[in-house]
Structure 1
Amino acid sequence: MYPMPLTVKRSIELLGLFLLATLILVGKAVIMPLLIAFFMTIILLPVYRFLLKRKLPESVAILLSIGLMIVTGVGVVWFFSAQISKLLSDFPHIKQTILLHSKQVSNWLSERTQYSTQQQGQFFHQQSAKLLNSAGAMLSGALVSISSVFVLLGLLPIYVFLLLFYKNLLLRFVFLWFPVAHHDQVEEALRETETIIKSYLIGLLIQIAFIVVILGGALEILGVPHALLLGIILAFLNLIPYVGIFAGTLICVLIILASSPDLLPIVELIGVVVVVHFLDQNILRPRVVGSKVKINAFSSIVGVVIGGHLAGIAGMFLSLPVIAILKLIFERTTMFAQWGVLLGDERPTQSPMQRPELRVNESINPLNTNEPQ
C-alpha cells in the first residue's frame, strides 16, 4: 500500500476538526449530557468497585453509587440555596444601599458633566423601557434554560447507570476499533485516561473546597457581607481557567456594592482574592490538578473560548478534561502527533530553526496507523 500524501492527511485532519465542531454545535443538547455523565461515571468508578468487592450485586452497587452522587448534589444545592436565601432576606437593606450608591453617582456626574439629575433620570427611564421591552424574550430564554437543566438532571442518573452497567460492552467496542497488535497500547491509553480524568476532577473538588473554606473564612473574619456566598461563587467560577476568576470577582464586587455602603469590603475582597488565587495557582493547582493535566496556557484559553462558543457554560467547564483526553490520544498516534505537541506544555528552550532535531517527534507510541514505522 502506498503511503498517503502529506497534503491529503492534513486535509483530512482539518476536515475532521470542522466536522467535529459542527457535530458538537448541532448536537450539543445530546452530547453535553452524555459527556457530563461520562465524567461523573469516572468519578463514581472507585465507589462502584468498592461496593462490588463487598459482594453486592452489580445493579445494587450502581444504584448506591448514583444515590451517593444525588445526595452530594442535593447537599451542594441546599448549601448554595441557603446562602442565596440570606442574600434575598437582606433585600430591603440592599435596596437602600443601591439607592444610596445611585445618588452618589448621580451627584458626581452632575458636578463633573453637563447632565443634570433630571436628565440622568430621563435617560434611566428610557433605558428601563428598552429593558422591559426585551424582558419577554429574556424570560422565555430563561425558562428554556431552566427546562434544559431539569431535563439534564433527569437524564444524568439514567446515563450514569447505563454507562456503568454497559461499561464492558463499551470497552469491547473500543478495542474492536484497533488491530490486535495495538491492544496493549489501547489498554494503556484507556487506563491512563481514567487516571487523568479521575485525578483531575477530584483535584477540582479539592480546589473548590480550598477556596470556599479559605476565601470564605477570611472574608467572614474580616466582616465582609455574604462571605460564604462570595466564596462559593469564586470557587465555582474559578473552574473556568483564566477567565473565571475575573468574572467571579466582578460579580462579588457587585454583590458587596449592593450590600454595603462602604468601599472597604471591596478592598478587602480584592486583597483576599489576590492572596488565595496566588496560593491556588502556585501551590494547590500544580499539585492536585496541574500535575495531572499538562496543557499549556495558550491551548487552555483557546479551548475555553471554543468550548464556550460551542456548548456554553458547560463547554467552558469541560474544556480542559476534554483537551487532556485529546492530548493523550494524539500523543499515541503518528498522524496526529503534532497536535499533541501543540496542546502540551513542553516548551523547547531553543528554536527548531536552529536545532533540526526539534523538528522531529520521536516519542510517538502509535495506536492505529498503517504507515511504515
Structure 2
Amino acid sequence: MSDNSNKYPYSLSLASSLFAAALILAFMVATQGVLIPLLFSILISISLYPLARFFERLKLGKAFASILSVIIALTILWLIGWFIVHQSIIIGKDASAITAKVVSVLERAQLWVEETFGIQRTAMMDQLRDQGNKLLSNAGAMASATFGSIGNILAGAVLVPLFSFFLLYYRDFFREFFFKAFQGVPQSKVHETLNKIYYVVQSYLLGLVTVMGIVAVLNTIGLMIMGIEYAWFFGTLASLLMLLPYIGIAIGSILPALFALAVKDNAWYAVGVVAWFQVVQFLEGNIITPNIVGSKVSINPLMAIIAILLGGMLFGLSGLILALPLTATIKVIFDSIPTMQAFGFLIGEPEKEHLKSTSTQDLLMKWGIVRKPKMEKKIKVDIQVDPDPATPQTKMQYKEIHESEDIPYEDTSGGDQKADDKDIKP
C-alpha cells in the first residue's frame, strides 16, 4: 500500500510484488490445515460483526456480545444440519421401494443400450465388474482420505467457533497491528483499505445468503408444481450448494432428478426437474444476483472462474467456497498498491466503454496511439425560413440612346460605359 514508484524502477517493484505473492501462496498451501479454518473464521466474524455491535450497544460487554453472536451462528448452522439429516432419514425409510424402482430403471436402460448400440448385457456387466474391482483396490486410499476429511471437519468444528470469537473480541487489536505494520503508509489509507475489505466481503456474504433464500423458494415451488415429494428438502439442499459458485445449482439438480426418475413412472419428470433448475440458475446469474449484490463485488466472470478452478486445485472443496471472497479481497489490496493496480484492474468488471462496438478506436485514442479527429464536435446550422417574406425588390438597368446614334458597344470586361445607369424600383 505504499508508493515506491519514485524510489525504484517499475519493473523491480512489480517483480518484487509478484515474488511476494508467490511466497504467500506457497505459505498458504503449506499451512492450509490451520489457514482454512482461520479463513472461514474471518468470513464468519465479518458476517457476525453487525450482530456483535448490536449486542454491545445493549451494554452487554464486548466479550459476552462476541460469545453470544458465535452461539447464534452455531445454532443456525445446527438447525440447517438437523433439517438435512432429518429429511434424509425420512427419505431413507422408503429406501427399499426407491431401490426397486431404480433397479427397474437401470434394467430398462440396459435394454435400450442393447437395442440401440448392440452392446450385450454381459459386456456391460464385465465393464461394471472391472470398475468395481478398481474401486475396491483404491478402497484403502479412499477410506483414509474420508477419515482424514472427517478429522479436518471435526477440527474445523472446534477451531472455527474459537477463532471467530477471538477475531470479534480482538478486532481493534488486529486493526492496530495493520497500522503498525504499514507505518510508511498514510494511516488513513490503511484504514480505508481495511474498511473496503470489510465492506466487500460482508456485501458478498449477505448477498449470498439472500440469493440462497430466494433460490431455495424458487426450487421448491418448481418441485411442488411437478408433484415431487420432499420438495423443501431438495430445494434447500440445492440452494446450499450455491456455496460452490456457477456449479452448485447444477449439482443440486442431480439428486432430485434421480429421485423423480425413481418414484415417477415417466422419465419426463426428471427432465423437468433438471430444466427448472437450469431456469433458476439462469435467473440467479442474470437477474437475482446482479440486482442484490450489484457492483459491490466487482469480479469479472472470467477471473471468477479461474479463481474457482485454482482454489479447488489448491485447497479442494474449501478452496471452491473461499475462492470468490478471497479474490475480492485480493482485488482491494491490489487496487491500493500502485505497482499492482493493473492486476486489480484485470480482476475487476469491464466498464461500458470496453464493450462498445467502437471500443478499440476509443482505447487507442485514449492512450495516444492514434490521433483524435480534428473536428470533435458536430456543427449545427440553424436555418430559419420566413413563411411570409416581404415583396422582393427587382433591380433593373437601362441605357439612354439618341436616335441618331448607333447602339454603343457594351464592354463585357467590366470597363466604364458611357451610358448612365439608373435603377427602377417598382
TM score, norm. by length of structure 2? 0.79
CA distance in 2, matches of 1:255, 1:7: 58
Aligned to 1:354: 364
What is the identity, as a one-letter code, of the residue corresponding to 1:262?
N
Aligned-pair CA distance for 1:353: 6.1
Q: What is the CA-CA distance between 1:254 and the residue it aligns to?
A: 3.4
Cα 1:154/1:103, change in 2 over 3 Å: same
- The corresponding residue for 1:41 is 45
Residue-by-residue CA offset, 1:186-216 (whole Å, 9 max, x unaligned): 2122222212211210111111111112211
Q: Partner residue of 1:269?
A: 273
Distance in 1 of aligned mates of 2:260 and 2:31: 39
> Equivalences for 1:170-181 in 2 at 5 Å?
170-179=174-183
Larger C-alpha radius of gyration, 1 or 2? 2
The alpha-carbon deviation at position 134 of structure 1 amounts to: 2.1
1:115 to 116, 119, 122: 119
**Aligned to 2:339, what secondary structure does the other structure show?**
coil
Asked if structure 1 preserves the Cα contact closer than 8 Å seen for 2:32 and 2:315, the reply is yes
Amino acid at match of 2:348: G
Farther-moved stretch of structure 1 (282-291 vs 165-174): 282-291
* Residues 203 and 288 in structure 1, CA contact (< 8 A), matched pair in contact too: yes
CA RMSD of aligned residues (A): 2.2
- Paired residues for 1:297-308 under 5 Å: 297-308=301-312
In the alignment, does 2:235 pair up with 1:231? yes
Residues 84, 237 of structure 2: 8 Å contact kept: no
Choose the corresponding residue for 2:97, options 93, 108, 113.
93
Displacement of 1:32: 0.7
Percent identical pairs in the alignment equals 28
Contact 2:250–2:277 (CA under 8 A) maintained in structure 1:
no
Q: How does 1:280-295 map to 2 (within 5 A)?
A: 280-295=284-299
Among 208, 230, 236, the residue aligned to 2:212: 208
Offset of residue 86 of structure 1: 2.6
- The aligned residue for residue 161 of structure 2 is 157
- Could you give the per-residue CA deviations for residues 129-150 of structure 1, whole angstroms, max 9, x where no partner exists? 3322222321221111111101
1:247 correspondence with 2:251: yes
Large movers: runs of 4+ above 6 Å: none
Give how far 1:48 is off: 0.8
Q: How many residues align?
A: 359
**1:40 CA displacement:** 0.4
Does the CA-based 8 Å contact 1:25-1:311 persist in structure 2? yes
- 2:342 counterpart of 1:338: yes
Q: Which amino acid aligns with 1:13?
A: S
**How far apart are the structure 2 equivalents of 1:8 and 1:258?**
63
- 2:85 is the alignment partner of 1:103: no
**What is the CA–CA distance in structure 2 between the aligned matches of 1:184 and 1:235, rounded to whole Å?**
40
Matched, 1:129 2:139: no
Q: Which amino acid aligns with 2:205?
A: L
> For residues 61-100 of structure 1, what are the alpha-carbon distances to aligned partners after superposition, in whole Å with 9 as ceiling and x for unaligned?
1111111011111111111112222332221122112211
1:220 aligns with 2:224: yes
From the superposition, tell whether residues 132 and 163 of structure 1 become closer, same or farther in structure 2 (CA, over 3 Å).
same
Higher helix share: 1
Question: Could you list the per-position Cα deviations for residues 193-250 of structure 1 after superposition, in whole angstroms to 9, with x for gaps in the alignment?
Answer: 2122112101111111111122113212321243223212321222322233333334
Cα separation, 2, equivalents of 1:72 and 1:49 = 19
Cα separation, 1, equivalents of 2:182 and 2:145: 44
Q: CA deviation at 1:258?
A: 4.1
Answering whether residue 67 of structure 2 is matched by residue 63 of structure 1, we say yes
Q: Which residue of 2 aligns with 1:363?
A: none
Contact 1:304–1:320 (CA<8 Å) still a contact in 2? yes
1:259 Cα deviation from its structure 2 partner: 4.2
Counterpart CA distance in 2 for 1:253 and 1:51 is 44
After superposition, the C-alpha distances for 1:283-341 in whole angstroms (9 at most, x for unaligned) are 22012223320110111000101111111111111111111111112112211100110
User: Hey, what does 1:319 align to over in structure 2?
Assistant: 323
1:101 CA drift (Å): 1.5
Structure 1: any 5+ residue segments left out of the alignment?
Answer: 360-373
CA contact 1:110–1:116 (8 Å) conserved in 2: yes
Matching residue of 1:310: 314
How far, CA to CA, are the matches of 1:18 and 1:194 in structure 2? 24
Quick one: structure 1 residues 114 and 158, their matched pair in 2 at CA, closer, same or farther if it must change by over 3 Å?
A: same
**Are 1:238 and 1:245, in contact at CA under 8 Å, matched by a contact in 2?**
yes
Equivalent pair of 1:219/1:269 in contact (CA under 8 Å): yes
Equivalent in 187, 195, 207 of residue 183 of structure 1: 187
**Structure 2 CA distance, aligned partners of 1:20 and 1:93?**
53
For the residues of structure 1 that align with 2:298 and 2:322, how far apart are their CA atoms? 15
Q: Distance in 2 between matches of 1:129 and 1:180?
A: 63
SS of match in other structure, 1:55:
coil
Match of 2:422 in 1: none
> Any conservation in 1 of the 2:66–2:168 contact (CA below 8 Å)?
yes
Worse-superposed segment, 229-238 or 39-48: 229-238
The residue identity in structure 1 corresponding to 2:253 is T
Q: Is the 8 A contact 2:211 2:289 kept in 1?
A: yes
Q: How far apart are 1:3 and its partner, in Å?
A: 3.0
Give SS of 2:253's match. Answer: helix
Alpha-carbon offset, residue 181 of structure 1: 5.9
